[in-house]
Structure 1
Amino acid sequence: MDINAPEGFEPFARLPGFLITTGPLYVKYHDSQANLGLRVEEKHCNIANICHGGMLMTFADMQLGVGSQVAQKIHKFLPTVHMSCDFVAPAPLGSWLEGTTLVTKQTRKTMFATCLVTADGETCFSASGIMKIPGDNGQFSDIVFEPKG
């Protein structure tokens, strides 16, 4: 399938493990924000030919973590400790998913954020997440998703 990503989106530089099977994932960095993008392919869909809820949750989980990391300039992977979500509308096969993140609070050890996911510009999914901020010598301190340069 031709991805046909909107202007400003580039392939996400690092897709380890599970994310290889769910991609291809795209990202646009701007104004201390990271917006993830994904074209819904057949492999992302359920029997109704709309994006599977588990795929939307995976996409939102990435958006929450990467978006928070970039917005707060935290150079550490932020593992999710809690996520709640709402399925707002279907995301049909071929639609462009795009995520945005809003950090609502940061403490020394915890990040709280919300995200919206749109399908071709219409809200289809929302989520709230709580992510752990690892210590400087923590297990996740060397895994960073951030803009090049």
Structure 2
Amino acid sequence: MQVPSTTHQGDVPEGFVAFRKAGAFAEKNGPIYFRPTDSVLGFCVSPAHCNPVGLCHGGWLSTFLDMQMPLKAMREGGLEGCFLVTVSLSLDFLAVGAVGSWIEGQATVLKRSKSLVFVQGLAVSGGTPLLRGSGVYKAIPRSS
């Protein structure tokens, strides 16, 4: 597997701000950053994100992409008043992320029905896709 180039720990690309709406789990495992202009999430791989061999843990990458895909769907689909619950998630690991790597999410909404949204996405580092995924999400209105 190819290991993308790394950046200096703490280097957050211009346009990204701390993402504060990810919930307690993501906040504990982050930090995660958000670029509001295109609804992209990103993070810099730290040792806390890594498995025992020092590479970004697949479970964390999966969680990250499972946040990016519904976020994009909410922003593009006028679903800001809803929470998108994961119904189905399919993932393919393509490469690994090293400590210091900046990883960004990409997502495209494929289809939307009355209550379901179908999304595909990538977690990418330095132009190298690390994780490809597709997800089906159910829109549930948020409580007041």
TM-score (norm 2): 0.88
Deviation at 1:15, TM superposition (A): 3.3
Contiguous gaps of at least 5 residues in structure 2: 1-7
In 2: Cα distance, 1:77 partner to 1:97 partner: 24
In 1: Cα distance, 2:128 partner to 2:76 partner: 23
Superposed CA deviations along residues 25-62 of structure 1, whole A, max 9, x for unmatched, are: 001122xx311000000000012211000000000000
State whether structure 2 residue 111 is matched by structure 1 residue 101.
Answer: no
Aligned to 2:5: none
Q: CA, structure 1 residues 6+130, in 2 after alignment: closer, same or farther (shift >3 Å)?
A: same
Contiguous gaps of at least 5 residues in structure 1: 143-149
Residues 105, 121 of structure 2: 8 Å contact kept: yes
Aligned to 1:74: 79
In 1: Cα distance, 2:101 partner to 2:9 partner: 12
Aligned to 2:18: 11
In 1: Cα distance, 2:32 partner to 2:43 partner: 5
Superposed CA deviations along residues 56-76 of structure 1, whole A, max 9, x for unmatched, are: 000000001111111212111
Aligned to 1:63: 68
TM-score (norm 1): 0.86
Residues 78, 132 of structure 1: 8 Å contact kept: yes
Residues 9, 100 of structure 2: 8 Å contact kept: no
Superposed CA deviations along residues 52-104 of structure 1, whole A, max 9, x for unmatched, are: 00000000000011111112121111111110000000111110010011000
Matches within 5 A, 1:19-34: 19-30=26-37, 33-34=38-39
Report runs of 4+ in structure 1 exceeding 3 Å deviation: none
**Higher RCO (C-alpha under 8 Å, 6+ residues apart):** 2
Aligned to 2:4: none
Could you say what secondary structure the match of 2:84 adopts? coil
Residues 77, 141 of structure 1: 8 Å contact kept: no
Aligned to 2:133: 127
